[in-house]
C-alpha cells in the first residue's frame, strides 16, 4: 500500500497509510474492496493533536517502525470517531489507540477487548476522551456485521489535555516505552491471529 498524506487540517502525517480525504471520510483500503473475506489489521489513531497529550495516538503511530506500519492499514481519524466503522470494516482485527483520562499515572497503558465489551454490553470502567460515541459506533458496527472479530482499545493515560501541539514532557519521555508496548501488541496480533497484511 502506498503512503498517503493526511489532508485534514491540523492533522499530522503518521508516516503510514493514512486513509482520509478532504471530506474527512476514510478512503477504502484493499481489505474493503468487494465481497472478499475480512483480512488485515486496522490501526486507528484517535485524538486531537492540538490538545497536547490528546494527540498521543498519532505520536505513537508516527514512532512505530516502518516495518510494522507496512503490515497494517493505519487510519488517523483525529476526533472524527463517526468514521470508525468505515476504517474497521473489511479487516479481521483492529487496534484503536486514544488517550484516556482516569486516575492512572500518565503513560499508563490500558488494553481493553472492545469486541467483547460491545457483545456483552458490559459497562466500561475507562473513560474515553472522546465520549461514549466510540462504543455506540462499535455497537452499530456489530449490528451491521462490520465489526472485526478482534477489536482492541489501547488507552494511554494523558498528563495534559490543554491547548498545545506538543506532548507533555511526561508523555514525550514515555513515548519510546509506550510505542514499544503498542508495537508488541500489533506484532502479537499479526503473528498470533495469522493476519495477512
Tens digits of residue pLDDT in 63-104: 999 888 888 888 888 887 778 888 888 888 999 999 999 889
| 9 or 190, higher pLDDT | 190
Residue 81 lies in a domain: yes
Q: Residue 133: pLDDT band by 50, 70, 90 thresholds?
A: low
**Confidence at residue 111, expressed as pLDDT on a 0 to 100 scale:** 93
pTM of this structure: 0.79
The stretch 109-114 carries a mean pLDDT of 90
**Confidence at residue 128, expressed as pLDDT on a 0 to 100 scale:** 55
HSE (CB half, 13 Å, CA atoms) of 84? Answer: 27
Provide, rounded to the nearest whole percent, the portion of the chain with pLDDT above 90.
34
**Confidence at residue 71, expressed as pLDDT on a 0 to 100 scale:** 85
DSSP 64-79: S-HHHHTTSEEEEEET
Give the mean pLDDT of the chain: 77
- Which pLDDT tens digit goes with each residue over 145-196? 888 989 999 999 999 888 989 999 999 999 999 999 999 999 998 887 655 4
The stretch 11-25 carries a mean pLDDT of 43
Decide if pLDDT at 31 tops 60. Answer: yes
Residue 14 lies in a domain: no
Q: What is the number of structural domains in the chain?
A: 1
Provide, rounded to the nearest whole percent, the portion of the chain with pLDDT above 70.
72
Between CA 92 and CA 39 the distance in angstroms is 5
The stretch 96-115 carries a mean pLDDT of 91
**Can you give the CATH number for the domain in which 172 is found?**
3.40.50.1450
The stretch 102-111 carries a mean pLDDT of 92
Residue 20 lies in a domain: no
Residue 9 lies in a domain: no
Residue 21 lies in a domain: no
* Distance (Å) of CA 101 to CA 104, 106, 158: 8, 9, 6
HSE (CB half, 13 Å, CA atoms) of 116? Answer: 6
Describe the chain by its helix, strand, coil percentages, rounded to 5: 35, 20, 45
Q: Strands 150-157, 109-113: parallel, antiparallel or unpaired by DSSP?
A: antiparallel
Check residue 124 and report its DSSP letter. P
DSSP 28-51: P-GGGSTTPPP-SEEEEEE--TTB
Residue 5 lies in a domain: no
CB of 182 closer than 8 Å to CB of 63 = no
Residue 22 lies in a domain: no
Residue 143 lies in a domain: yes
Where in the sequence is the domain holding 92, given as residue range(s)? Answer: 30-191
**Confidence at residue 163, expressed as pLDDT on a 0 to 100 scale:** 93
**Confidence at residue 7, expressed as pLDDT on a 0 to 100 scale:** 39
Closest CA to 114 of 147, 79, 151, 59: 151
Amino acid at each position: 500500500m502506498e503512503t498517503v498524506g493526511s489532508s485534514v487540517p491540523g492533522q499530522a502525517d503518521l508516516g503510514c497509510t493514512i486513509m482520509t480525504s478532504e471530506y474527512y471520510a476514510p478512503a477504502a483500503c484493499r481489505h474493503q474492496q468487494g465481497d472478499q473475506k475480512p483480512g488485515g489489521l486496522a490501526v486507528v489513531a484517535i485524538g486531537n493533536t492540538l490538545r497536547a497529550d490528546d494527540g498521543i495516538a498519532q505520536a505513537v503511530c508516527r514512532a512505530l517502525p516502518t516495518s510494522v506500519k507496512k503490515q497494517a492499514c493505519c487510519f488517523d481519524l483525529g476526533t472524527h470517531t463517526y468514521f470508525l466503522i468505515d476504517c474497521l470494516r473489511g479487516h479481521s482485527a483492529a487496534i484503536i489507540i486514544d488517550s484516556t483520562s482516569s486516575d492512572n499515572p500518565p503513560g499508563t497503558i490500558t488494553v481493553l477487548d472492545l469486541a467483547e465489551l460491545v457483545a456483552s454490553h458490559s459497562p466500561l470502567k475507562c473513560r474515553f476522551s472522546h465520549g461514549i460515541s466510540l462504543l455506540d459506533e462499535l455497537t452499530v458496527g456489530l449490528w451491521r456485521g462490520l465489526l472485526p472479530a478482534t477489536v482492541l482499545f489501547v488507552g494511554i493515560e494523558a498528563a495534559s489535555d490543554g491547548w498545545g501541539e506538543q506532548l507533555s514532557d511526561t508523555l514525550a519521555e514515555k513515548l519510546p516505552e509506550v510505542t514499544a508496548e503498542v508495537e508488541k501488541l500489533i506484532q502479537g496480533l499479526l503473528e498470533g491471529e495469522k493476519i495477512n497484511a
